[in-house]
């Protein structure tokens, strides 16, 4: 499964260079050119890591960092900038950046740092081995789901489905893909099965299953799990 990263860079040549290199390395790349777009895209697309240029027109990289952290978003952020003085370095870390690469930098070095950061972030996440959103906590080790203090009844298949949604959060998942990956069916048969299970999940985890906020319907296609962050 490829990692989805967001590149925030206002200079078109640099943006394309970074995009091409990360795509060549197998990453799924979203790129934007302003801080405002960066904050919106992190919330809508849930990248696993952000490569952030500091000097942007309008909202600066510093402000992007601060805004994301204030919203409680802990996505790893690697800052790239020409302002590579020690003072800026400290300011970047204080605002919640995870790493700092000064321009000019080698793209290979940046790719290596991104890879290392993602690995570290993933191992922290897998140690915790649970995923929380809203008042729901999914415990992968014990295969239990809690809503506040109450344990929810989940069948094995329902648990596999919520696990799949969590692992692929933010992605548009077709009914066919869900059937194939969660049920192991290779043919596009009984896609209604998926709808029935999604309806069951919604009754358990949504605040109001008539107006789902977490498992969204993508009309004519399937579903998208978008937990609040
Ligand atoms: Ca710039």
CA of 15 to the centre of ligand 1 (A): 10
pLDDT band at 145 (very low <50, low <70, confident <90, very high): very high
Residue 108 CA to ligand 1 centre (angstroms):
20
Separation of CA 189 and ligand 1 centre (Å): 50
CA 164 to centroid of ligand 1, rounded, Å: 38
Check whether 40 has a pLDDT greater than 90: yes
| Percent of the chain predicted with pLDDT > 70 | 90
Q: How far is the CA of 71 from the centre of ligand 1 (A)?
A: 24
CA of 41 to the centre of ligand 1 (A): 18
Which two three-digit tokens encode residue 135? 């008042």
H or E segment at 130? strand 130-133
Residue 227, pLDDT score? 83
Residue bearing the bigger pLDDT, 85 or 182: 182
Best CA proximity match to 7, nearest among 40, 35, 34, 30 = 30
3-state secondary structure of 17: helix
CA of 130 to the centre of ligand 1 (A): 38
Supply the pLDDT for residue 229: 61
Residue pLDDT, tens place only, 178-195:
988 888 765 556 778 899
Mean pLDDT of the chain: 87
Whole-angstrom CA distances from 216 to 170, 172, 174, 178, 209 are 10, 9, 12, 14, 10
List CB-based neighbours of ion ligand 1 within 5 Å: 10, 53, 55
Q: Tell me the CA–centroid distance for residue 11 and ligand 1, in Å.
A: 6
Quick one: CA dihedral 136, 137, 140, 144, positive or negative? negative
pTM: 0.56
Sheet holding 136-139, edge to edge: 130-133, 136-139, 144-147, 150-152
């Amino acid at each position: 499964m490829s990692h989805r990263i967001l590149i925030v860079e206002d200079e078109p040549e640099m943006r394309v260079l970074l995009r091409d290199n990360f795509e060549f390395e197998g990453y799924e790349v979203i790129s934007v050119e302003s801080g405002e777009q960066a904050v919106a895209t992190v919330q809508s697309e849930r990248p696993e890591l952000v490569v952030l240029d500091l000097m942007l027109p309008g909202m600066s990289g510093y402000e992007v960092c601060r805004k994301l952290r204030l919203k409680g978003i802990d996505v790893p952020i690697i800052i790239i900038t020409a302002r590579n003085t020690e003072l800026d370095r400290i300011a970047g870390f204080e605002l919640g950046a995870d790493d700092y690469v000064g321009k000019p930098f080698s793209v290979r070095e940046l790719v290596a740092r991104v890879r290392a950061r993602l690995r570290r972030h993933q191992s922290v996440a897998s140690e915790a081995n649970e995923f929380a959103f809203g008042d729901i906590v999914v415990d992968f080790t014990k295969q239990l789901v809690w809503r506040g203090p109450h344990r929810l009844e989940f069948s094995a298949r329902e648990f596999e489905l919520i696990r799949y949604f969590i692992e692929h959060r933010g992605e548009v998942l077709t009914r066919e893909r869900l059937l194939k990956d969660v049920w192991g069916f290779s043919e596009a048969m009984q896609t209604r099965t998926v709808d029935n299970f999604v309806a069951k999940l919604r009754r358990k985890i949504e605040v109001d299953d008539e107006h789902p906020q977490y498992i969204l319907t993508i009309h004519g296609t399937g579903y998208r799990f978008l937990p609040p962050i």
